Amino acid sequence: MGKLQHIQHQIAAINHLIEINNDRIAGYEKILDEKQEYRYSEIFDQNVSESQKGIAELSDLIQDMGGQPSTGTSFGNKVSQTWFDIKSQIKKPDNMSILGKCIHIEEVVNAAYRKALDDKELIWDDKKVISVLSNHLKLSKMALDKIKGLYTENLSV
């Protein structure tokens, strides 16, 4: 793989992470729109804010590489949102189903960052890129652990 192709591959991988963060924002905003007074709103708002900050950092990385940051969401998110909408029409979402959706959102984010960091074709020469991606993964793992904790708490109620 030539240097230009390598950079284009890196840009594509980071753009995918931007889309995943856009998916995360859309998922939490949808939950917050449906349940205005949801007791975990502050946590969900924090996750949205983390993704917005993450998108800004990822966009800066792409621009430093000479690329154009993505502004969209992933196809997988559209399918997932549709499925959640269908289930919501059948049964009104409760705490467990909402937290289950949040766990799914965070697992997708974690998997995307893990894949980007572990991809053997993406030789990240720039330590700044590795630092940004690793920090985002760490924050996402913390968010996932927090949501799983809330889910477990609700199981025992």
Write down the pLDDT at residue 131: 94
Write down the pLDDT at residue 79: 47
Q: What is the pTM of this model?
A: 0.86
Write down the pLDDT at residue 97: 84
Rounded Cα gap, residues 69 and 63, in angstroms:
7
Rounded Cα gap, residues 156 and 152, in angstroms:
7
| Backbone torsions φ then ψ of 124, nearest 5 degrees | -80, 100
Q: Which domains does the chain have, with CATH numbers?
A: 3-155 (1.20.1260.10)
- The one-digit pLDDT tens for each residue of the chain (157 residues) are 577 788 898 999 999 999 999 999 999 998 888 765 567 889 999 999 999 999 999 999 999 999 999 988 775 645 455 545 545 555 566 788 889 989 999 999 999 999 999 987 777 777 889 999 999 999 999 999 999 999 999 887 6
